[in-house]
């Protein structure tokens, strides 16, 4: 069992290098299934989820390896059509392989991803999109089976601008015959990164980053080396940690244009945010002012940042409201924050946060990745030591070298797996 012990009343000071984006790297690595040859990716974070997608590629017969210093090498020749159950249940994003496998083999057999801690997270929009391109879809013995000798371009309207479904359709459409138009597409920076990778590999895609994406099918894609964009959620998490601890942190390697909503909300909360040519500086200021936050698809406020803001606002001078509109069940961290002395009440899909003067360290449980990040921020603010119990390794799934990065900013903490120093045991 993993436990992270964090000493409270910290003030984060110094510089931190932001890693590459996990959520951009995952679909891009899956998209290599569409091509033949060898690609080297740079700025890939060394995270459990990345190792899981690498294992998935290997299980499909592809050579894939994390070769150090943020680089992943993938060499694709033939691809199997069936994805192993253990990997899809371990990480929902493994489902991304469905479109590329279908295109390569005319058939893909993928286990249905089960329920997930942050809501039911269905895959109906992914499948609706593939059907619109001519695939036949059926469910059998817990597997989704999709079949099509050759996909043909078509019009796909997404009922919700789902990030994953936009990516699935975009990948499948690159090698379809004719033109595909995705309406109400997701506009997240990770969509643009996937499109840029596919374009570099020979795809014809217009409009990524807007709500209408047009993909003109091409005959083949070729191998290409590609750098992954910076992780906007990791950056946002460090920005909130700086704000919450009255710190002064300079973040290097960030894409400012991906962080507008977070920057605006931090300024509203009273923090100083300076955009400089080589990064962003955040200086936390007391009192923390209360906020109203509503999560929305990009460019709205990201759902992946609401838990971290809740930790900050737990100690605001006044009452804040956070409304979650993207996922159900994303407030599981609230009970844990309340165990640390926060005063947060849930009303349907909103959390009402009455600011308290101080939190106190306590043993708490990380229920998902961003909940773990929120608890780490609360722990930095709290009086005394907090023990974050992270049985499922959630934090290691999403934050590269979090412990080292926090230490570099002056935090005193310990990371243990079954009582032994996690650093000595290696990252995974």
Residue among 20 and 361 whose Cβ is closer to ligand UD1 = 20
Cα distance between residue 311 and residue 331, in whole Å: 12
User: Do β-strands 248-252 and 13-17 pair in parallel, antiparallel, or remain unpaired?
Assistant: parallel
Among 77, 124, 220, 264, binds ligand UD1 (CB under 6 A): 124
Is 116 part of the annotated catalytic residue set? yes
Judged by CB under 6 A, how many residues of this single chain contact ligand UD1?
A: 21
* 344 binds ligand UD1 per the rule CB under 6 A: no
* Sole window of 105-113, 120-128, 138-146, 198-206 interacting with ligand UD1 (rule: CB under 6 A): 120-128
Residue 395 CB, nearest approach to ligand UD1 (Å): 14
Alpha helices in 43-188 (DSSP H): 48-59, 85-90, 98-105, 124-132, 163-173
For CA atoms 21, 23, 27, 29, give the dihedral sign: positive
Q: In whole angstroms, give the CA distance from residue 65 to residue 360.
A: 43
Give the strand pairing for 13-17 and 343-347.
unpaired
C-alpha closest to that of 407 among 93, 43, 5, 86:
5
Looking at beta carbons only, is 162 or 245 nearer to ligand UD1? 162
Decide if residue 126 touches ligand UD1 (CB under 6 A).
yes
> Residue written as tokens 């210093």?
69
Nearer Cβ to ligand UD1 (235/359): 235
- 33 or 249, CB closer to ligand UD1? 33
Residues 283, 271: contact at Cβ < 8 Å? Answer: yes
Contact between 184 and ligand UD1 (CB under 6 A)? no
Q: Under the criterion CB under 6 A, does residue 122 sit at the interface with ligand UD1? A: yes
CB-based contact 42:224 (threshold 8 Å): no
Complex with ligand UD1: residue 61 or 114, whichever CB lies closer:
114
Residue 157 engages ligand UD1 in binding (rule: CB under 6 A): no
**CB neighbour class for 155 (10 Å; exposed up to 12, middle 13-18, buried from 19):** exposed
Spot the catalytic one: 59, 112, 116, 417: 116
Q: Which of 303, 308, 393, 401 binds ligand UD1 (CB under 6 A)?
A: 303
Q: Closest residue (Cβ) to ligand UD1?
A: 164
Residues 12-71 that bind ligand UD1 (CB under 6 A): 23, 26
> Which of 162, 196, 271, 393 touches ligand UD1 (CB under 6 A)?
162
Which residue among 163, 288, 359, 402 contacts ligand UD1 (CB under 6 A)? 163
Task: Read off the tokens for 372.
Answer: 């773990």
Q: Is 93 in the site for ligand UD1 (CB under 6 A)?
A: yes
Give the residue with the Cβ less far from ligand UD1, 125 or 334: 125
Measured from the CB atom, is 122 or 318 closer to ligand UD1?
Answer: 122
The helix/strand/coil state of 123 is: coil
* CB proximity list for 311: less than 8 A, separation 6 or greater: 240, 244, 337, 374, 375, 377, 378, 381
CA–CA gap between residue 312 and residue 402 (Å, rounded): 18
| Shortest distance in whole angstroms from residue 16 CB to ligand UD1 | 21
In the list 4, 98, 110, 123, the residue contacting ligand UD1 (rule: CB under 6 A) is 123
The residue within the footprint of ligand UD1, chosen from 15, 115, 136, 160 (CB under 6 A), is 160
CA–CA separation, 270 vs 283, rounded Å? 9
Residue 174 interacting with ligand UD1 (CB under 6 A): no
φ/ψ (deg, to 5) at 317: -90, 85
Are the C-beta atoms of residues 124 and 144 closer than 8 Å to each other?
no
In the complex, the residues that contact ligand UD1 under the rule CB under 6 A are: 23, 26, 93, 119, 121-126, 160, 162-165, 186, 190, 303-304, 326-327
Catalytic machinery residues = 116
């Amino acid at each position: 069992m993993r436990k992270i012990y964090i000493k409270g009343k910290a003030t984060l000071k110094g510089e931190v290098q932001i890693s590459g984006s996990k959520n951009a790297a995952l679909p891009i690595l899956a998209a290599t299934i569409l091509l033949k040859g060898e690609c080297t990716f740079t700025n890939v974070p060394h995270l459990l989820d990345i190792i899981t997608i690498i294992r998935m590629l290997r299980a499909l017969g592809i050579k894939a390896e994390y070769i150090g210093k943020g680089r992943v090498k993938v060499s694709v020749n033939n691809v199997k059509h069936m994805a192993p159950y253990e990997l899809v249940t371990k990480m929902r994003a493994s489902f991304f392989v469905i479109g590329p496998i279908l295109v390569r083999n005319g058939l893909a057999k993928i286990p249905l991803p089960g329920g997930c801690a942050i809501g039911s997270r269905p895959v109906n929009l992914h499948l609706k999109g593939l059907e619109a391109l001519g695939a036949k879809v059926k469910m059998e013995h817990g597997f989704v089976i999709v079949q099509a000798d050759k996909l043909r371009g078509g019009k796909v309207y997404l009922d919700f601008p789902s990030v994953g479904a936009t990516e699935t359709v975009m990948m499948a459409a690159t090698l379809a015959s004719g033109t595909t138009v995705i309406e109400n597409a997701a506009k997240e920076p990770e969509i643009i990164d996937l499109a840029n990778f596919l374009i570099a590999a020979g795809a014809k895609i217009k409009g990524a980053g807007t709500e209408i994406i047009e993909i003109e099918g091409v005959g083949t894609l070729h191998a290409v080396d590609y750098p992954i964009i910076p992780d906007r959620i990791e950056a946002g998490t460090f920005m909130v940690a700086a704000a919450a601890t009255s710190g002064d942190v300079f973040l290097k390697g960030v894409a400012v244009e991906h962080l507008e909503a977070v920057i605006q909300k931090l300024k509203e909360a009273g923090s100083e945010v300076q955009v400089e040519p080589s990064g962003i500086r955040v200086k936390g200021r007391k009192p923390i002012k209360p906020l109203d936050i509503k999560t929305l698809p990009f460019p709205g406020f990201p759902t992946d940042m609401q838990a971290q803001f809740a930790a900050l606002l737990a100690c605001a001078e006044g009452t804040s409201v956070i409304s979650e509109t993207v996922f159900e069940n994303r407030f599981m961290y609230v009970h844990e924050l309340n165990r640390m002395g926060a005063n947060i009440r849930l009303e349907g899909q909103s959390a009402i946060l009455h600011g308290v003067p101080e939190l106190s360290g306590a043993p708490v449980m990380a229920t998902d990745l961003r909940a773990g990040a929120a608890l780490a921020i609360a722990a930095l603010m709290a009086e005394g030591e907090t023990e974050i119990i992270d049985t499922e390794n959630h934090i290691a799934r999403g934050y590269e070298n979090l412990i080292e990065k926090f230490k570099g900013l002056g935090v005193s903490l310990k990371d243990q797996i079954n009582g032994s120093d996690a650093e000595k045991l290696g990252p995974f």
